[in-house]
Amino acid sequence: MKFLKFCLHFILVVLLSILTQVGGLLYLIVVLATRKIHRFKLIKQIVVFLLVYLICSLLLIPKVAPYFGREKLETTEHLQAHSLFYVLANRDYVKPKLKEALQEIARDFSKYDPNLTVVYLDANFPFFDGFPLLPHLSHNDGKKIDLAFIYNDEKGRVTNEKPSRSGYGIYEASNSGERDQTQACKEAGYWQYDFTRYVSFGNRNPELTLSNEATKQLVKLILNLKETSKLFLEPHLVQRMNHSDPKIRFHGCRAVRHDDHIHFQIN
């Protein structure tokens, strides 16, 4: 029984570290601090952990992260997280220069359409360069972030709604005559290329269709920033939107497909 409890605690520490960076450490501290509790021990540990985690994530970590060169993104009228998960999981930290760039993009995009909001997905964890933000290969230095596409509703109007619950995994596949990079990568043996379809957590708005024009405008604003060094977008969407900026790069078959979000990074 003790071995099974140890295994369970170990698994939870690993999972919480993967999802939130700090959750595993906080969980371990709570378990050790409450080890002498007997009655309703598990329930008390869960309650204490949740309280400690929320206090640290919402109040303490945002004040400590700047000492590590990162700042928490702030929700504004024109810049928002896709879901509360990215905020509570501490996956919304960036370098100050990237934070300023995002605010500028959001302001400029509101001039294109005041009703539209720039929606971000995974950014980076608050501490330590090199700490992996899985399943991403490169979100480990505060300089990268993923943004959601812009979509049209069933009446053809641009909307802030997104098809995927997670923001990932609902793809805008290639049309006839466009380059099918997904097929090429999978035929080359890179089975993980469309792995993110398993983390969409459902299509909540199946009637939505990609707004090529609005998404193209968002990409253009990102590329126009002098701070932007690279932007990843699936080749068939680059072709469809007629982009030719050298900052647009192919992310490689070892990564995952980018026809469900925009990835960009700064110098």
- Whole-angstrom Cα distance, residue 204 to residue 206? 6
**Do 192 and 253 fall into the same domain?**
yes
- Whole-angstrom Cα distance, residue 151 to residue 131? 33
- Whole-angstrom Cα distance, residue 140 to residue 130? 5
The string of pLDDT tens digits covering residues 95-139 is 999 999 999 999 999 999 999 999 999 999 999 999 999 988 899
**Do 62 and 79 fall into the same domain?**
no
**Do 129 and 201 fall into the same domain?**
yes
| Domain boundary pick from 14, 48, 66 | 66
**Do 53 and 77 fall into the same domain?**
no
Please answer whether residues 146 and 262 qualify as being in contact, where contact means their C-beta atoms are separated by less than 8 angstroms: yes
Output the pLDDT for position 1: 73
**Do 45 and 171 fall into the same domain?**
no
Q: Which long-range contacts (CB under 8 A, 24 or more apart) does 213-216 make?
A: 214/112, 214/113, 214/116, 214/150, 214/158, 215/149, 215/150, 215/241, 215/262, 216/241, 216/242, 216/243
Element (H, E) at 11: helix 2-20
**Do 220 and 97 fall into the same domain?**
yes
Q: What is the CATH number of the domain that holds 90?
A: 3.30.1380.10
Owning domain of residue 15: 2-66
**Do 184 and 209 fall into the same domain?**
yes
Number of domains in the chain: 2
249 forms bridges with which residues in the sheet?
Answer: 232
Full-model pTM: 0.91
The string of pLDDT tens digits covering residues 20-46 is 999 999 999 999 998 887 777 778 888
**Do 153 and 241 fall into the same domain?**
yes
Average pLDDT over residues 222-232: 95
Provide the pLDDT confidence category of residue 3 given band limits of 50, 70 and 90.
confident
**Do 60 and 77 fall into the same domain?**
no
Average pLDDT over residues 151-163: 95
